């Protein structure tokens, strides 16, 4: 009888963990690997958090492909500040199947752009778009487990 209860308990725990992991893929909350546009190499890890339905992202790690460690192109208070810990994504709000009306900061050029993000590939990729006037640029960030 104890064996049956143990098996049932293990099955329930497995179902709970599977459900928790599946739910994780429906939200951009978590860590994401950014890819350098020019070299195609991983550049940084961005941690996305959610507070009251609004997404924010900050750089938590620089990878081997990162050429700069500080924000040399930034102006004002951010000039020459470390990239690790820098907020680069904010104010994204859920709209249908994407998060929109936010801002993204690009330390490579010191510019701030209108931003949106959308999960693809079953939550394994985050399409992040920055837009300025008529110009837009899209990146594919990879979820880090």
pLDDT tens by residue, 90-135: 999 999 999 999 999 998 889 999 999 999 999 999 999 999 888 8
Whether the per-residue pLDDT at 36 is higher than 70: the answer is yes
3-state SS class at 126: strand
The model's pTM? 0.80
Per the model's pLDDT, the better-predicted residue between 45 and 17 turns out to be 45
Predicted confidence at residue 65, as pLDDT, reads: 65
Q: Which residues pair with 89 in a beta bridge?
A: 57, 104
Whether the per-residue pLDDT at 11 is higher than 70: the answer is no
Query: What structural domains does the chain harbor?
Result: 27-144 (2.40.128.520)
Which residue spans within the chain are E strands per DSSP? 30-35, 42-51, 54-62, 87-95, 98-106, 111-120, 125-132, 135-144
Whether the per-residue pLDDT at 21 is higher than 70: the answer is no
User: In which band, very low, low, confident or very high, does the pLDDT at 56 lie, cut at 50, 70 and 90?
Assistant: very high
Rounded to 5 degrees, φ, ψ at 28 are -80, 0
């Amino acid at each position: 009888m104890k064996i049956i209860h143990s098996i049932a308990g293990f099955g329930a725990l497995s179902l709970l963990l599977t459900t928790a992991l599946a739910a994780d893929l429906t939200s951009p909350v978590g860590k994401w690997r950014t890819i350098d546009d020019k070299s195609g190499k991983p550049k940084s890890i961005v941690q996305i958090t959610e507070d009251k339905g609004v997404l924010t992202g900050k750089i938590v790690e620089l990878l081997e492909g990162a050429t700069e460690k500080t924000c040399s192109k930034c102006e004002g208070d951010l000039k020459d500040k470390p990239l690790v810990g820098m907020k680069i994504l904010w104010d994204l709000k859920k709209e249908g199947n994407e998060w929109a009306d936010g801002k993204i900061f690009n330390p490579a050029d010191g510019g701030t752009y209108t931003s949106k993000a959308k999960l693809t590939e079953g939550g394994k990729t985050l399409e992040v778009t920055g837009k300025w006037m008529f110009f837009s640029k899209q990146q594919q960030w990879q979820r880090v487990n």
